[in-house]
Amino acid sequence: MVRRRHDFHRWWLPQLLLGGTVLALLAAMAVTVTGNMALRAMTVSLGFLDNTARFPIAESVMAYSPVDGFAWAFATGLGNTLLLTATIIVASILLGIPLALARRSGHLLARLSAGAFVDGVRNTPLVIQLLFWYGVITVSLPSPRSAFQPLSGIFLTDRGLHVTTLGITGTALPLVVTLTIGLVATATLAWRGRLHQASIVSLGTVVVGATLWLALDLGLRPDVPRLGRYNFVGGLTVTPELAAVLLGSVLYASGFAAEIVRAGLAAVPAGQWDAARAMGLNDRQSLRLVIVPQALRIMLPPMTNQFVSVLKNSTLALVVGYPELNSIANTTMNHTGHALECMLVLVLAYLTLAGGISLAMNALDRRTARWTR
């Protein structure tokens, strides 16, 4: 007897029941919500996004003022979220790799101290770490008058960090164009796997840049923060909120990045080292040509999850009062009462960003697949 592939009782009926139940639940929810919204005289429309926001945002990477619309307030929040996410991801990897190497090293002190650090940051909530660093900055650092100066030109105060910036004097445009072209070309070549050509191009860019520098007679002028009436002026200022979020999140994320890198390196079979040595490669070459390409492939999926976590954890900036997308949407919700719309914007924004991270990492995964095979 041949059974039909999709017989009614085992294929259509359960799905009809499931779909019916879900639809009925959604309909019941919709009815309750519309009823409650009618009681509260709430309306659903995205028209409010054009209205003036009227609330201040303490700091942002994009220009914002309270006379701007809600749509621009959301964009400002998104900008801050992206700034946090990108900075934390890059810095946590830069810090995580040496941490992972220290945990794998034969050096007893390095291994123990890196292990204690990684265990410590990974096993305590980020909220506490952020609050702690915010306390360190706002309570324990000195006032601007007696600023703590770890390096000349860097001032740490309870009002924030003030860093000397370098400005270029003279017509710098040709230099900027040259460096941009060189950087893009290097990155493209490296992405295509042509590492040798990439290094030649980057070297060439440096030489041309240096020649331009001398030819155009450019100079550097440092912009040193000076103590004004109440606070430092000039240079680059990082507010206590941003500093606490970045410091806390980077340390936290670096613990996780270090574990992923360590696990990735450990997952490459020890025989690969032996085989590479047998081929006559030295330690550096075995690491670069044999171990790292394989470890990288193992690290990519957990790294994708880690990057999405960083994005989601950026919402915790709220506890120290740094305005990112989630808290700005929450403020908007409280100001306008357009709760459903704000929630929709939030959910779509985070799902899109998380999906974007996954897509980008999958593209990278396919690249590495081509290198290794």
Residues that bind other proteins (CB under 8 A): 11, 14-15, 18-19, 22, 29, 32-33, 35-37, 39, 105-110, 113, 119-120, 122-129, 131-132, 135-136, 139-140, 270, 308, 311-316, 318-319, 326, 330, 333, 339, 343, 346-347, 350-351, 354-355
CB of 108 to other proteins, least distance (A): 5
Q: Which is nearer to other proteins, 117 or 213 (CB)?
A: 117
Cα gap 327→321, rounded to integer Å: 9
Give the whole-angstrom CA distance, residue 93 versus residue 113. 18
CB of 354 to other proteins, least distance (A): 4
Whose Cβ is closer to other proteins: residue 21's or residue 211's? 21
- Taking the least distance from each CB to other proteins, the nearer of 107 and 194 is 107
Is residue 305 packed enough to be buried (19+ CB in 10 Å), middle (13-18) or exposed (0-12)?
middle
CB of residue 225 vs other proteins: minimum separation in angstroms?
A: 24
Please enumerate in sequence order all residues whose Cβ is within 8 A of that of 252, keeping only pairs 6 or more positions apart, or say none: 92, 121, 122, 126, 129, 313
125 vs 222 by CB, closer to other proteins: 125
Contacts for 69-75: CB closer than 8 Å, 24+ residues apart: 70/332, 70/336, 73/328, 73/332, 74/49, 74/325, 74/328, 74/329, 74/332, 74/345, 74/349
**Shortest distance, position 134 Cβ to other proteins, whole Å:** 8
User: How many angstroms separate the CA atoms of 246 and 89, rounded?
Assistant: 10
Q: Which residues are CB-contacts of 259 (< 8 A; sequence separation ≥ 6)?
A: 100, 118, 122
Nearest approach in angstroms of CB 357 to other proteins is 10
Taking the complex as a whole, the smallest distance from the CB of residue 260 to other proteins amounts, in Å, to 11
Handedness of CA 122, 123, 126, 132 (dihedral sign): negative
Min dist. Cβ of residue 307 to other proteins (A): 12
Exposed, middle or buried, 12 (CB in 10 Å: 0-12/13-18/19+)? exposed
Nearer CB in complex with other proteins: 11/191: 11
Cβ distance to other proteins smaller for residue 79 or 204? 79
What is the β-pairing status of strands 160-163 and 154-157?
A: antiparallel
Query: The tokens of 339 are what?
Result: 């709760």
Alpha-carbon span 363 to 373, nearest angstrom: 16
How far apart are CB 330 and other proteins at their closest, in Å?
A: 6
Which residue's CB is nearer to other proteins, number 25 or number 195?
25
Beta carbon of residue 3, minimum distance to other proteins (angstroms, whole number): 14
Contact 361, 303 (CB under 8 A): yes
DSSP 52: B
- For residue 260, the SS3 value is helix
Rg over alpha carbons for the chain, rounded to the nearest Å, is 27
3-class state of residue 351 by DSSP: helix
Query: Of 249 and 330, which has the nearer Cβ to other proteins?
Result: 330
Given the complex with other proteins, which of 189 and 346 has the nearer CB atom? 346
